[in-house]
Protein backbone atom coordinates (compact mmCIF):
# COMPACT_ATOMS: atom_id res chain seq x y z
CA UNK A 1 0.00 0.00 0.00
CA UNK A 2 1.94 2.98 -1.29
CA UNK A 3 0.91 6.44 -0.16
CA UNK A 4 2.59 9.83 0.13
CA UNK A 5 3.38 8.88 3.73
CA UNK A 6 5.23 5.67 2.82
CA UNK A 7 7.09 7.47 0.06
CA UNK A 8 8.12 10.44 2.22
CA UNK A 9 9.37 8.37 5.16
CA UNK A 10 10.69 5.28 3.41
CA UNK A 11 8.46 2.71 5.12
CA UNK A 12 6.58 -0.26 3.71
CA UNK A 13 3.22 0.21 5.43
CA UNK A 14 1.23 3.44 5.97
CA UNK A 15 1.22 2.81 9.71
CA UNK A 16 2.97 4.81 12.41
CA UNK A 17 3.45 3.93 16.08
CA UNK A 18 2.57 6.83 18.34
CA UNK A 19 5.05 8.23 20.82
CA UNK A 20 4.02 7.02 24.28
CA UNK A 21 5.63 7.96 27.60
CA UNK A 22 7.36 4.98 29.24
CA UNK A 23 6.35 2.77 26.29
CA UNK A 24 8.15 4.09 23.19
CA UNK A 25 11.36 2.19 23.93
CA UNK A 26 13.86 0.41 21.73
CA UNK A 27 12.24 -3.03 21.74
CA UNK A 28 8.87 -1.70 20.56
CA UNK A 29 10.23 0.88 18.13
CA UNK A 30 12.63 -1.62 16.59
CA UNK A 31 9.89 -4.22 16.18
CA UNK A 32 7.54 -1.75 14.46
CA UNK A 33 10.29 -0.50 12.15
CA UNK A 34 11.47 -4.01 11.29
CA UNK A 35 7.85 -4.95 10.45
CA UNK A 36 7.64 -2.08 7.96
CA UNK A 37 5.93 0.64 9.99
CA UNK A 38 7.33 3.88 11.37
CA UNK A 39 8.32 3.33 15.00
CA UNK A 40 8.64 6.30 17.35
CA UNK A 41 10.99 6.42 20.32
CA UNK A 42 9.70 8.73 23.06
CA UNK A 43 12.30 11.31 24.08
CA UNK A 44 10.71 12.21 27.41
CA UNK A 45 11.08 8.62 28.59
CA UNK A 46 14.82 9.36 28.47
CA UNK A 47 15.10 13.02 29.60
CA UNK A 48 18.87 12.87 29.81
CA UNK A 49 20.39 13.34 26.33
CA UNK A 50 23.01 10.65 26.87
CA UNK A 51 20.33 8.14 27.87
CA UNK A 52 18.30 9.10 24.80
CA UNK A 53 21.32 8.65 22.51
CA UNK A 54 21.96 5.24 24.07
CA UNK A 55 18.35 4.19 23.45
CA UNK A 56 18.62 5.30 19.82
CA UNK A 57 21.64 3.02 19.46
CA UNK A 58 19.58 0.17 20.94
CA UNK A 59 16.89 0.66 18.29
CA UNK A 60 19.55 0.20 15.62
CA UNK A 61 20.41 -3.16 17.15
CA UNK A 62 16.88 -4.27 16.25
CA UNK A 63 16.52 -2.83 12.75
CA UNK A 64 18.16 -1.02 9.85
CA UNK A 65 14.81 0.45 8.78
CA UNK A 66 13.75 4.08 9.30
CA UNK A 67 12.38 5.15 12.68
CA UNK A 68 11.81 8.44 14.46
CA UNK A 69 11.73 10.12 17.85
CA UNK A 70 8.77 11.87 19.46
CA UNK A 71 9.74 15.16 21.10
CA UNK A 72 6.84 16.61 23.10
CA UNK A 73 7.27 20.08 24.56
CA UNK A 74 4.77 20.52 27.37
CA UNK A 75 4.94 21.79 30.95
CA UNK A 76 6.42 19.07 33.15
CA UNK A 77 6.88 18.44 36.84
CA UNK A 78 10.40 17.36 35.88
CA UNK A 79 13.21 19.62 34.66
CA UNK A 80 13.65 18.79 30.97
CA UNK A 81 16.05 20.55 28.60
CA UNK A 82 14.28 20.10 25.28
CA UNK A 83 17.08 21.78 23.33
CA UNK A 84 19.58 19.22 24.59
CA UNK A 85 17.22 16.40 23.63
CA UNK A 86 16.74 17.92 20.18
CA UNK A 87 20.48 18.01 19.60
CA UNK A 88 20.91 14.46 20.89
CA UNK A 89 18.32 13.20 18.41
CA UNK A 90 19.87 14.95 15.42
CA UNK A 91 23.45 14.19 16.43
CA UNK A 92 22.51 10.51 16.63
CA UNK A 93 21.56 10.55 12.96
CA UNK A 94 17.79 10.32 13.37
CA UNK A 95 16.10 12.08 10.49
CA UNK A 96 12.44 11.82 11.50
CA UNK A 97 11.03 13.69 14.50
CA UNK A 98 7.43 13.87 15.68
CA UNK A 99 6.92 17.19 17.43
CA UNK A 100 4.00 17.89 19.75
CA UNK A 101 2.84 20.30 22.41
CA UNK A 102 4.37 23.45 20.93
CA UNK A 103 4.83 25.15 17.57
CA UNK A 104 7.91 23.64 15.85
CA UNK A 105 8.43 26.86 13.87
CA UNK A 106 11.36 28.19 15.92
CA UNK A 107 13.31 24.98 15.26
CA UNK A 108 12.54 24.47 11.57
CA UNK A 109 15.71 26.15 10.27
CA UNK A 110 17.77 23.82 12.44
CA UNK A 111 15.79 20.74 11.36
CA UNK A 112 15.96 21.68 7.68
CA UNK A 113 19.69 22.31 7.88
CA UNK A 114 20.18 18.76 9.13
CA UNK A 115 17.76 17.08 6.73
CA UNK A 116 15.22 16.20 9.41
CA UNK A 117 11.62 15.52 8.39
CA UNK A 118 9.02 16.71 10.88
CA UNK A 119 5.65 15.15 11.62
CA UNK A 120 3.75 17.57 13.83
CA UNK A 121 1.05 16.17 16.08
CA UNK A 122 -2.06 18.32 16.49
CA UNK A 123 -5.73 18.10 17.40
CA UNK A 124 -7.31 20.74 15.16
CA UNK A 125 -7.32 21.90 11.56
CA UNK A 126 -6.15 25.40 12.51
CA UNK A 127 -3.07 24.02 14.26
CA UNK A 128 -2.38 21.70 11.31
CA UNK A 129 -2.52 24.64 8.90
CA UNK A 130 -0.06 26.53 11.09
CA UNK A 131 2.28 23.53 11.08
CA UNK A 132 2.06 23.34 7.30
CA UNK A 133 2.86 27.04 7.07
CA UNK A 134 6.10 26.65 9.04
CA UNK A 135 7.23 23.82 6.77
CA UNK A 136 6.64 20.43 8.41
CA UNK A 137 6.61 17.37 6.16
CA UNK A 138 3.37 15.91 7.49
CA UNK A 139 0.86 16.25 10.30
CA UNK A 140 -0.66 13.62 12.56
CA UNK A 141 -4.12 14.70 13.68
CA UNK A 142 -5.73 13.18 16.78
CA UNK A 143 -9.47 12.77 16.88
CA UNK A 144 -11.31 13.10 20.19
CA UNK A 145 -11.23 9.31 20.63
CA UNK A 146 -7.48 9.27 21.19
CA UNK A 147 -5.47 8.48 24.30
CA UNK A 148 -3.55 11.23 26.03
CA UNK A 149 -4.32 14.81 25.00
CA UNK A 150 -7.26 15.12 22.55
CA UNK A 151 -7.37 18.91 22.68
CA UNK A 152 -10.35 20.94 23.77
CA UNK A 153 -12.52 21.02 20.63
CA UNK A 154 -13.92 17.49 21.08
CA UNK A 155 -14.04 16.81 17.33
CA UNK A 156 -14.01 13.07 16.52
CA UNK A 157 -11.89 11.66 13.73
CA UNK A 158 -14.75 10.99 11.33
CA UNK A 159 -15.17 14.76 11.07
CA UNK A 160 -11.68 16.01 11.90
CA UNK A 161 -9.74 13.95 9.35
CA UNK A 162 -11.73 14.92 6.23
CA UNK A 163 -11.90 18.52 7.45
CA UNK A 164 -8.11 18.52 7.61
CA UNK A 165 -7.42 16.72 4.34
CA UNK A 166 -9.77 19.10 2.52
CA UNK A 167 -7.57 22.07 3.48
CA UNK A 168 -4.04 20.71 3.77
CA UNK A 169 -1.61 20.03 0.95
CA UNK A 170 0.92 18.00 2.98
CA UNK A 171 0.23 14.38 3.99
CA UNK A 172 -2.19 13.88 6.88
CA UNK A 173 -1.81 10.90 9.21
CA UNK A 174 -5.04 9.93 10.96
CA UNK A 175 -4.85 9.19 14.69
CA UNK A 176 -7.33 8.29 17.40
CA UNK A 177 -9.68 5.30 17.39
CA UNK A 178 -7.70 3.15 14.91
CA UNK A 179 -6.71 -0.43 15.68
CA UNK A 180 -7.31 -2.57 12.61
CA UNK A 181 -7.80 -2.72 8.85
CA UNK A 182 -11.22 -1.10 9.04
CA UNK A 183 -9.67 1.97 10.63
CA UNK A 184 -6.91 2.12 8.04
CA UNK A 185 -9.32 1.84 5.11
CA UNK A 186 -11.63 4.44 6.66
CA UNK A 187 -8.71 6.82 7.17
CA UNK A 188 -7.60 6.42 3.56
CA UNK A 189 -11.18 7.02 2.41
CA UNK A 190 -11.24 10.23 4.46
CA UNK A 191 -8.17 11.47 2.62
CA UNK A 192 -5.39 10.49 5.05
CA UNK A 193 -2.12 9.02 3.79
CA UNK A 194 -1.61 6.73 6.77
CA UNK A 195 -2.57 6.07 10.38
CA UNK A 196 -0.94 6.63 13.75
CA UNK A 197 -1.78 4.06 16.43
CA UNK A 198 -0.84 4.26 20.10
CA UNK A 199 -3.15 2.06 22.17
CA UNK A 200 -3.04 -0.75 19.61
CA UNK A 201 0.77 -0.89 19.83
CA UNK A 202 0.55 -0.61 23.62
CA UNK A 203 -1.11 -4.02 23.48
CA UNK A 204 1.52 -5.97 21.52
CA UNK A 205 4.06 -8.60 22.53
CA UNK A 206 6.98 -6.17 22.19
CA UNK A 207 5.34 -3.38 24.18
CA UNK A 208 7.56 -2.98 27.28
CA UNK A 209 4.74 -2.95 29.82
CA UNK A 210 3.46 -5.61 32.18
CA UNK A 211 1.32 -8.34 30.62
CA UNK A 212 -1.49 -7.71 33.11
CA UNK A 213 -1.92 -4.19 31.75
CA UNK A 214 -2.24 -5.59 28.24
CA UNK A 215 -4.85 -8.03 29.53
CA UNK A 216 -6.72 -5.10 31.11
CA UNK A 217 -6.87 -3.41 27.69
CA UNK A 218 -8.23 -6.57 26.06
CA UNK A 219 -10.87 -6.88 28.80
CA UNK A 220 -11.99 -3.22 28.55
CA UNK A 221 -14.68 -1.63 26.42
CA UNK A 222 -14.78 1.68 24.56
CA UNK A 223 -16.56 3.18 27.59
CA UNK A 224 -13.75 2.45 30.03
CA UNK A 225 -11.87 5.75 29.86
CA UNK A 226 -11.97 8.99 31.84
CA UNK A 227 -11.26 12.59 30.82
CA UNK A 228 -8.91 14.23 33.30
CA UNK A 229 -8.24 17.96 33.69
CA UNK A 230 -11.31 19.15 31.75
CA UNK A 231 -11.77 22.17 34.05
CA UNK A 232 -8.15 23.16 33.40
CA UNK A 233 -8.61 23.06 29.61
CA UNK A 234 -5.83 20.46 29.47
CA UNK A 235 -7.87 17.33 28.87
CA UNK A 236 -6.21 13.92 29.06
CA UNK A 237 -7.91 10.61 28.28
CA UNK A 238 -6.87 7.79 30.60
CA UNK A 239 -7.99 4.31 31.59
CA UNK A 240 -10.98 4.30 33.93
CA UNK A 241 -9.93 3.07 37.35
CA UNK A 242 -10.54 4.15 40.95
CA UNK A 243 -7.64 6.62 40.93
CA UNK A 244 -8.76 8.34 37.73
CA UNK A 245 -12.39 8.50 38.84
CA UNK A 246 -11.36 10.04 42.16
CA UNK A 247 -9.29 12.71 40.41
CA UNK A 248 -12.15 13.52 38.02
CA UNK A 249 -14.60 13.83 40.92
CA UNK A 250 -12.30 16.14 42.89
CA UNK A 251 -11.87 18.48 39.96
CA UNK A 252 -15.58 18.39 39.11
CA UNK A 253 -16.22 19.65 42.65
CA UNK A 254 -13.96 22.63 42.10
CA UNK A 255 -10.66 21.11 43.10
CA UNK A 256 -7.34 22.46 41.84
CA UNK A 257 -4.47 20.60 40.25
CA UNK A 258 -2.68 20.62 43.59
CA UNK A 259 -5.58 18.65 45.05
CA UNK A 260 -5.09 15.76 42.62
CA UNK A 261 -1.36 15.96 42.00
CA UNK A 262 -0.68 13.01 44.31
CA UNK A 263 -3.12 10.91 42.27
CA UNK A 264 -2.01 11.81 38.75
CA UNK A 265 1.77 12.13 38.96
CA UNK A 266 3.73 10.30 36.29
CA UNK A 267 5.63 8.08 38.70
CA UNK A 268 2.40 6.34 39.73
CA UNK A 269 1.53 5.84 36.08
CA UNK A 270 4.95 4.40 35.40
CA UNK A 271 4.53 1.85 38.19
CA UNK A 272 1.33 0.63 36.50
CA UNK A 273 3.33 -0.34 33.42
CA UNK A 274 6.21 -1.81 35.43
CA UNK A 275 4.35 -3.73 38.17
CA UNK A 276 1.19 -4.65 36.30
CA UNK A 277 -1.46 -3.24 38.66
CA UNK A 278 -3.93 -1.32 36.45
CA UNK A 279 -5.38 0.34 39.57
CA UNK A 280 -2.10 1.78 40.88
CA UNK A 281 -2.25 5.11 39.02
CA UNK A 282 -3.50 6.92 35.95
CA UNK A 283 -2.35 5.66 32.55
CA UNK A 284 -3.22 6.74 29.04
CA UNK A 285 -5.39 4.62 26.79
CA UNK A 286 -7.83 5.40 23.99
CA UNK A 287 -11.46 4.49 23.44
CA UNK A 288 -10.17 2.10 20.77
CA UNK A 289 -9.33 -0.39 23.54
CA UNK A 290 -12.88 -1.61 22.97
CA UNK A 291 -11.76 -2.92 19.56
CA UNK A 292 -8.69 -4.77 20.85
CA UNK A 293 -9.08 -8.44 21.69
CA UNK A 294 -5.59 -9.92 21.37
CA UNK A 295 -1.89 -9.29 22.05
CA UNK A 296 -0.03 -9.99 18.77
CA UNK A 297 3.55 -9.35 17.76
CA UNK A 298 4.10 -6.13 15.85
CA UNK A 299 4.95 -8.11 12.72
CA UNK A 300 1.73 -10.11 12.93
CA UNK A 301 -0.30 -6.96 13.63
CA UNK A 302 1.03 -4.98 10.68
CA UNK A 303 0.74 -7.96 8.35
CA UNK A 304 -2.85 -8.54 9.43
CA UNK A 305 -3.89 -4.91 9.11
CA UNK A 306 -2.45 -4.43 5.64
CA UNK A 307 -3.62 -7.83 4.38
CA UNK A 308 -7.15 -7.28 5.68
CA UNK A 309 -7.21 -3.73 4.34
CA UNK A 310 -6.43 -4.97 0.84
CA UNK A 311 -9.15 -7.61 1.22
CA UNK A 312 -11.64 -4.96 2.31
CA UNK A 313 -10.83 -2.82 -0.70
CA UNK A 314 -10.73 -5.68 -3.20
CA UNK A 315 -13.55 -7.87 -1.96
CA UNK A 316 -16.12 -6.23 0.28
CA UNK A 317 -16.17 -2.78 -1.28
CA UNK A 318 -15.89 -4.10 -4.84
CA UNK A 319 -18.74 -6.53 -4.20
CA UNK A 320 -20.91 -3.74 -2.88
CA UNK A 321 -20.17 -1.59 -5.91
CA UNK A 322 -21.05 -4.40 -8.32
CA UNK A 323 -24.12 -5.64 -6.48
CA UNK A 324 -27.43 -5.18 -8.36
CA UNK A 325 -29.74 -2.52 -7.01
CA UNK A 326 -32.84 -4.09 -5.37
CA UNK A 327 -36.07 -3.52 -7.24
Q: Which domains are delineated in the chain?
A: 4-198 (3.20.20.70), 211-287 (no CATH)
- Mean pLDDT of all residues belonging to the chain: 95
pLDDT in tens, 234-263: 999 999 999 999 999 999 999 999 999 999
Kindly tell me if the per-residue pLDDT of 180 is higher than 90. Answer: yes
Quickly state the pLDDT bin for 265 (edges 50, 70, 90). Answer: confident
Burial class (CB in 10 A: 0-12, 13-18, 19+), 110: middle
* CA 38/CA 270 separation, integer angstroms: 24
Residue 325 has pLDDT above 70, yes or no: no
**pLDDT over threshold 80, residue 184:** yes
- Residue 77 banded pLDDT, cuts 50, 70, 90: low
pTM value is 0.94
Cβ–Cβ < 8 Å for 245, 279: no
* Nearest Cα residue to 42 out of 2, 4, 80: 80
State the pLDDT confidence band at 74, using cuts at 50, 70 and 90: confident
pLDDT on residue 283 = 97
Contact 89, 71 (CB under 8 A): yes
pLDDT band at 75 (very low <50, low <70, confident <90, very high): low
Max Cα separation, the chain?
70
Amino acid sequence: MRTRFTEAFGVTHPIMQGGMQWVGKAELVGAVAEAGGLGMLTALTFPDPELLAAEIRKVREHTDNPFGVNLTILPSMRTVNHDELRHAIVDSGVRVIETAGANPGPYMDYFNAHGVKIIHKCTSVRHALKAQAVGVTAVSIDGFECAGHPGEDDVPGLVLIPAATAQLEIPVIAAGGIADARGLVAALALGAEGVNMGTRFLCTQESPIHHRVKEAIVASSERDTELLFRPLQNTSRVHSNAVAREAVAIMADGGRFEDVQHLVNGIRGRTVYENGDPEAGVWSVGMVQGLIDDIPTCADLLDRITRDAVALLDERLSAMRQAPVPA
